[in-house]
Each structure stands twice: as structure tokens, then as C-alpha cells.
Structure 1
Amino acid sequence: MDTTTPSIESLFAQLGLPNGQQHIDKFVEQHWLEASISLSDAPFWTDSQKHFIEESLREDGAWSEVIDELDSMLR
């Protein structure tokens, strides 16, 4: 059972990305998304990252709010 408290930092760690604030800021700067592209369809995700995002949103679980927050940050 995963007991990680969902946050932007822990989401980045879950996705296998550097999760320091400066890394998050840089990621957001470099990965803007058009409104017509869903977060899970963004071209910069690996297959496993895409799967995690899709599954988490489908389950509407603990990660979904943080994923929605990331989605907003990238717009």
C-alpha cells in the first residue's frame, strides 16, 4: 500500500522525475500544453508515466487532485 501523501513534489517523484522545486519550475517552463491536448496525451510522457496519469484520473483517487493541479500549471 502506498502511503505517500500526494503533493506536486511526490507526484514528480512518482513519475520518476526530479522533484525539487527548481526542477518542477523548469519542467513547467519547458512543457506548456495547448488547451486541446489532454495531460495524459502530452508528448513528453513515457508510456509508464502516461499509464500512471490515466489510471490515477480514472480511479479518481488520491493522486487525481495533484494531477489536476499539474495540468493547470502546464496551461
Structure 2
Amino acid sequence: MELSNHALKDLFDQLGLPSEQGDIEHFIESHRPLPDDLRLADAPFWTPAQAQFLKEEFLDDADWAPLVDQLNALLHQPTRH
């Protein structure tokens, strides 16, 4: 696998989501924590196309996989109090 030159902003752009830093932070805060047994691509807030993209990129260990993994970790973290 080649190292990705993408940033989390780029992944949000790829998913068709607002991608400014504040938008990303709001998305993560409003959707976490995901249950430990829920895979990222199976979360209910994705469109079918977004879910398919996340699943394929992760399973194929593709260019976007490190960022998908990063987003997965962020969304599974407990909320801050």
C-alpha cells in the first residue's frame, strides 16, 4: 500500500460532507460514540453510497484506508465531558 497524501478534510470531501475543520469536529461530536460492536460503515447516518465507499476502502486497504481508520477511531472514542 502506498502512503496516502490525503487529510481528513479530503475524506470528508470524498464523502460529500462539509469539510471545514469546524464541520468535521461537529460531525464527530454529534455522531460519537459509536457502540464498540458497530462497524464504521454500518453506522446509520451514512448514505448507502458513503457506507459502500467506507467499506470498500477499508477492506481493500486502499489509499483512503488510513483516514477511514482514523475516522473510525474518532467516532468510537467516548464523548468528552
TM-score scaled by structure 1? Answer: 0.91
State the distance in 1 between where 2:9 and 2:28 align. 13
Q: Structure 1 residue runs of 4+, over 4 Å off?
A: none
- SS at 2:69's partner residue? helix
AA of the residue aligned to 2:43:
A
TM-score scaled by structure 2? Answer: 0.84
AA of the residue aligned to 1:72:
A
State the distance in 1 between where 2:36 and 2:6 align. 25
Map 1:1-75; keep pairs closer than 5 Å.
5-32=5-32, 33-75=34-76
State the distance in 2 between where 1:28 and 1:51 align. 19
Question: What are structure 2's unaligned runs of at least 5 residues?
Answer: 77-81
Q: Percent identity between the aligned chains?
A: 39
State the distance in 2 between where 1:66 and 1:7 align. 7
Query: CA shift at 1:20, angstroms?
Result: 0.2
Cα root mean square deviation, aligned: 1.2
Query: CA shift at 1:5, angstroms?
Result: 3.4
Question: What are structure 1's unaligned runs of at least 5 residues?
Answer: none
AA of the residue aligned to 2:16:
G
Query: CA shift at 1:57, angstroms?
Result: 0.9
AA of the residue aligned to 1:40:
A
